[in-house]
Structure 1
Amino acid sequence: MRIGLLGTGPWAQMAHAPALSGHGELDFAGVWGRRPEAAKELAERHGVRAYDDVDALFADVDAVAVALPPEVQAGLAARAARAGCHLLLDKPLAATVEQGRAVVGAVEEAGVASVVFFTARFQSEPDAWITEQAAVPGWFTGRAQWLGAVFSSESSFATPWRREKGALWDVGPHALSVLLPVLGDVRRVTAAAYGPGDTAHVVLDHTGGASSTLTLSLTAPPAASGAAVELFGEAGVAVLPESSEGAVPALVRAVDALLAAARTGRPHACDAAFGLRVTEILSAADALLNVGGR
């Protein structure tokens, strides 16, 4: 499969480009970016072509991987799908529900495969744990805590879209990607903006009867940063295991999932439709945070 990369930022450099160039079943064909000089530099580093015209890249490849802000990703993903390209997308799928629906509509109309990269869903230990807990009945409640230090330390990930959208949209998708497969879809959302910076607290009422709480922040002290998920129910307490794998091996597995979906025609659990559902829940929570005077 010939694949192109859209984006030249830190995530594209440290994760996407190495994963694409090192995958044995991919032909990493080229890079497009909003800054042509950055695209040229990244392309030269991996021995591929830098594209000035994104539509020319779409015409030359079978698939694209996207490492761009959500509002930029959504429009380009829809264009790529209409050009017949399979999609390896980043989370969140889009900045609005309307944008997310446009991506899903383009994917369905074109009949292309899609995978949204939720990190924990493509790391061996966490993914196995999620599958195991999803088969366990009687969960009563869950708790997810995703704390980052992006805004409280010198970080290359303190990008404009993260400053605008905050932890809800950056790390909230990770928490939802773990909780939804286990506790089920969400029928009610409550959210409040208590705490420093962009800290948000979200309470979810799941269709299976369980509840869950999310504490999300990119303003945590560096010593307090990290992620944790706990489930409580008839079987006792289950704790999400930490993964020793970095982003590149997880992205390689996401590529494997995209290849399988393209080959078989069977959607992956983390496809664009799942990404849209996550976007809908984030949007509902965001509306409540805005009402509360974020």
Structure 2
Amino acid sequence: MIDKLEFFIALAKAQHFGRAAEELGITQPTLSASLRQLEEQLGVMLVRRGSRFQGLTPEGEQVLNWARRIVGDARTMKQEMRAARHGLSGRLRIAAIPTALAMVPALTTPFRERHPGVTFTILSRTSVEILSLLGNFDIDVGITYLDNEPLGPVVSLPLYTERYRLITAIGSPLADRTQVSWAEVAELPLCLLTPDMQNRRIIDQHLADAGASARPTLESNSMIVLFSHIRTGKWASIMPLNLAETFGFAEPIRAIPIIDPDASHTVGVVAAEREPRPPLVSALLEVASRLASEGRLR
């Protein structure tokens, strides 16, 4: 039954029999036969069929929610039994917003020192995508904003506070200032994250509160692209202080505090709200809590 539920989850995600079978490493006839067996066991049709995948039936949507929970619990049980025999091991899947990616090693490095049998997958995703991935059990934890947009049914743990700086080259407008206002920053040629990123929505809101608006001349979902353009001296950006410090900005780049207001937002770990909690997730939350209380996460 568990295998069939995993097949069903894969099909619902891929929305294509061939792609789902390929991802599962089985043949398409095997996938189709397993789904028919699952439908017979449950006594309902799960998939609308035609010449191609046409979506889930209403009953299929209900079963999908149960399938995710059942498969998630089965994985948790396996983790607990493996940890009881051999210590904590397995793969920890983390998705983080772009502005938090530079902080992730401060969490994963001490975690692996404590649990050397654990490996990691780190993904860069928007805050909306992180919540969706958690809900679908496609990741174990996310790192995102906690206090700006609704999180839904998750467990959260604050890690650090994000404050904002104007990042610009020496010799460019406002580069000689000790602090600048949001309204002044709005007049510069800015390169910013794309509007689907919550960091960008935060920046847009602070600019709007100052009576200004963001008119970026360049947008990207990559922090590396933004840093590269800042270094040309032709663009400026608005970035969190901790991110600028991590990249070690030195001459000829300056990070200038932005005031009116001196805005801040909390970034933290989020995990699906479920019991029992997977051992890997519990261990990560324990390490994160200790590091945050010691002020070692920024």
Same fold, TM exceeding 0.5? no
Q: What TM-score results when the alignment is normalised by the length of structure 2?
A: 0.28
**TM-score, with length taken from structure 1:** 0.29
